[in-house]
């Protein structure tokens, strides 16, 4: 039997197969839980003791994540739809009675093209998923979090939002938007026990980069002083901290995770 998590505020022990996960009594909502960073972070938060609800548009991917999780449940949900997001959050509250932490990891890059070739519909889609989607989830989560006087919001931004990657203008603009959104929200609720931070990784080895052309990928890796891609487990390590009460005096911050690429 493998013991995965030790936690002082142990409330119950649930098991699946030979893995025992001690719960910490807290509930986390993870968007983009079907793939990449969201998938790995959902599993990490569960090992940390959270009861995790994953949401995504990719039902098959959600099922695959849940298949290797101890007790993660999932809901198919498009974060671009405010009503779908509100329903998802309402169901979390009905099923679990609380919402302590949120990770906004759902995201798309859009096409890798110069700005003059970027079609309006591609611009609109990237804005809808990356920026409006984050807004929808943050807004829906703030109600129960403010009422409870506790919350941790973690938003996936990107180094692209700080520096601007050529040929990924919409992506870069939305990630800059996520950094600003997070800073604003954090100040609004700074005295209410609700903390909001963003994470700005350089390129991380996940499926999102499969659609980015090789030249742009090479450009992104060449900018990293460590000379390598990041791994999802390295992102989850930071998310684990930011989504927990261990994070207590940081809010509105944008945390670098870039192998040395970020210089501010």
Ligand X SMILES: NC(=O)c1ccc[n+]([C@@H]2O[C@H](COP(=O)([O-])OP(=O)(O)OC[C@H]3O[C@@H](n4cnc5c(N)ncnc54)[C@H](O)[C@@H]3O)[C@@H](O)[C@H]2O)c1
The nearest distance, CB 205 to ligand X, in angstroms, is 7
Binding test (CB under 6 A) with ligand X, winner from 28, 69, 181, 208? 208
Specify the 3-state DSSP secondary structure of 106.
Answer: coil
Binding test (CB under 6 A) with ligand X, winner from 23, 75, 158, 236? 158
Rg value, the chain, Cα: 18
Closer to ligand X by Cβ: residue 58 or 245: 58
The nearest distance, CB 193 to ligand X, in angstroms, is 26
Distance CA 113, CA 39 (A): 28
Residue 251 contacts ligand X per CB under 6 A: no
How many residues interact with ligand X (rule CB under 6 A)? 29
Length of the chain as a residue count: 264
Distance CA 153, CA 184 (A): 13
Closer to ligand X by Cβ: residue 36 or 151: 36
Closer to ligand X by Cβ: residue 46 or 56: 56
Contact 85, 56 (CB under 8 A): no
Could you tell me if residue 252 is left (phi over 0), alpha (psi between -120 and 50 degrees) or otherwise beta?
left
Please, what is the end-to-end C-alpha distance for the chain in angstroms? 45
Contact set for ligand X, span 188-207 (CB under 6 A): 201, 203-204, 206-207
Distance CA 210, CA 113 (A): 15
Distance CA 106, CA 129 (A): 7
Q: x/- binding map, residues 29-58, to ligand X, per CB under 6 A?
A: --xx-xxxxx-----------------xxx
Residue 107 contacts ligand X per CB under 6 A: yes
User: Which positions lie near ligand X, rule CB under 6 A?
Assistant: 31-32, 34-38, 56-58, 61, 78-80, 105-108, 129, 133, 156, 158, 201, 203-204, 206-209
């Amino acid at each position: 039997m493998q013991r995965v998590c030790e936690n002082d505020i142990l409330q119950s022990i649930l098991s699946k197969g030979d893995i025992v996960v001690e719960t910490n009594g807290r509930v986390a909502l993870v968007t983009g839980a079907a793939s990449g960073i969201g998938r790995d972070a959902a599993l990490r938060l569960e090992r940390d003791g959270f009861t995790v609800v994953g949401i995504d548009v990719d039902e098959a991917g959600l099922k695959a994540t849940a298949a290797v999780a101890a007790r993660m449940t999932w809901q198919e949900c498009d974060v671009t739809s405010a009503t779908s997001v509100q329903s998802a959050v309402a169901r979390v509250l009905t099923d679990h009675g609380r919402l302590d932490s949120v990770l906004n990891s759902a995201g798309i890059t859009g096409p890798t093209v110069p700005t003059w070739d970027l079609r309006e519909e591609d611009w609109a889609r990237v804005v809808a998923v990356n920026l409006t989607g984050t807004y929808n989830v943050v807004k829906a989560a703030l109600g129960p979090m403010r009422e409870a006087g506790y919350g941790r919001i973690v938003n996936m931004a990107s180094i692209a939002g700080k520096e601007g990657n050529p040929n990924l203008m919409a992506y870069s603009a939305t990630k800059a938007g996520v950094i600003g959104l997070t800073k604003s929200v954090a100040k609004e609720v700074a005295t209410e026990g609700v903390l909001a931070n963003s994470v700005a990784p350089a390129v991380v080895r996940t499926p999102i980069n499969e659609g980015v052309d090789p030249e742009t990928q090479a450009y992104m890796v060449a900018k990293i002083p460590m000379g390598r891609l990041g791994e999802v487990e390295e992102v989850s390590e930071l998310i684990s901290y930011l989504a927990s009460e261990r994070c207590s005096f940081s809010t509105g911050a944008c945390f670098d995770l870039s192998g040395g690429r970020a210089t501010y």
